[in-house]
Amino acid sequence: MGIVSSPDPVRPATAAAQALGFVDPQTGAIVPPVHPATTYERGADNQLLAGRLYSRADNPGYDLPEALLTRLEGGAASAVFSSGMSAATSVLMALRPGDHVLVPNVIYWAFRSWLVGWATDWGLRVESVDMTDPARVAAAVQPGRTKLIWIETPANPTLVVTDIAAMAEVAHRAGALLAVDSTFATPVHTQPIALGADLVMHSATKYLNGHSDVIAGSLTTRAVDDHWQRIKAVRVQSGNVLGPFEAWLLLRGMRTLFVRVAAQSRSAARIAGHFEKHPRVEEVLYPGLAAFRGHAVAARQMRGGFGGMVSLRVKGGAPGALAFSGKLRVWKRATSLGGVESLVEHRASVEGPQSPTPPDLLRMSVGLEDTEDLIQDIEQALR
Ligand SMILES: Cc1ncc(COP(=O)(O)O)c(C=O)c1O
């Protein structure tokens, strides 16, 4: 991994900006190299020269992003994956047929499709439940059978907030693990492991990388236990590996995570507050708004802001929402989120006829543009 020279302990933003203080021991370079090699040499004694075998097992370029994630999440170990989906599905693939899994009824759409389709076909018993009510989740737990509770907070795309500490209690009482998709919260605002979670997942495609130019995922674990070893084996054996250039770009993006997310959260909070009472807006969904249903829980478990994602419900149903988004000039109509450019998406169109997302909802990922430009653009599109 090179020399890690930051005095310890430094604050998380310092650890991120300095990539844990990396300095290349051979060259003195303060940026790590890319490691494109797929294979590693053995000596005459047939022993691996540096302990590495093949790049499907791991790549030296994973070491720093994984170590930094472990540091930022306060976990025991991390693993990067070829996408957020491959990180999430690896958690489920490490379970065994017949295991019961509780998932929220508001969850990233593609993951729901995988859970309902593939996971169920392969023998996992997946049940969705309203995770905003810990009593309901406790009632849905099947003692001895429930092995995993999966939550996503704030959730995509309605920003539903789930109480991580309460869910950890329910999970642990049942002998189950709690996994948290913390993509929207980022390690800047929430550290699920400190609140009791066992696993933290990110679509690193979003805020961790932050520049809309890498598909990646990550998991961080509280403990290097049997389930974690199985997850690592899934990555190696299924080949859900991140490319070396993508790993390098991911670390480069993570170095600016704290300034980006802080600015995006500030801007999102201003936009949410500005349009909350707008006559053409039905509802603004943002965990930072006092009137938002999950605000109290969000205020307890999110530090320093409420994230850069806002959903607007525009008057006039789906036609009103689509007409509004069609008039936007600064915001880009595109899927995904967490990049430096502001993106807007009509989620119900993407999710299809079975979508539970309100048809008048536009998911808005606030970028790093001048907030006034973003506000004015929404204003003119609402006229
Ligand atoms: C909350 C959330 N989790 C997981 C994913 C999946 O991540 P990826 O697209 O990197 O596979 C996404 C993607 O949009 C997401 O928004």
pLDDT of residue 291: 98
**What is the percentage of the chain residues whose pLDDT exceeds 90?**
96
CB-ligand 1 contact for 84 (6 Å cutoff): yes
Q: How far is the CA of 320 from the centre of ligand 1 (A)?
A: 27
Q: Kindly list the distances between the CA atom of residue 191 and the CA atoms of 3, 21, 171, 314, in Å, as whole numbers in the listed order.
A: 26, 22, 17, 33
Angstrom distance (rounded) from CA 151 to CA 130 = 10
Q: Which among 79, 129, 81 has a CA at the least distance from the CA of 101? A: 129
pLDDT of residue 321: 98
Q: Whose CA is nearest to atom 12 of ligand 1?
A: 203
List, for residues 81-107, the tens digit of each pLDDT value: 999 999 999 999 999 999 999 999 999
CB-ligand 1 contact for 89 (6 Å cutoff): no
The residue whose two tokens read 């009472």 is: 277
Q: What is the pTM of this model?
A: 0.98
User: For this structure, is 235 an active site residue?
Assistant: no
Confidence of residue 290 (pLDDT cuts 50, 70, 90): very high
The residue whose two tokens read 């990396």 is: 22
CB-ligand 1 contact for 205 (6 Å cutoff): yes
Q: Which atom of ligand 1 is least distant from the CA of 336?
A: 14
Residue 350 confidence (pLDDT) above 60: yes
Q: Whose CA is nearest to atom 2 of ligand 1?
A: 108
Confidence of residue 5 (pLDDT cuts 50, 70, 90): low
CB-ligand 1 contact for 108 (6 Å cutoff): yes
What per-residue string of b and e applies to 32-41 under the rule 16 or more CB within 10 Å gives b? bebbeeeebe
Angstrom distance (rounded) from CA 383 to CA 351 = 27
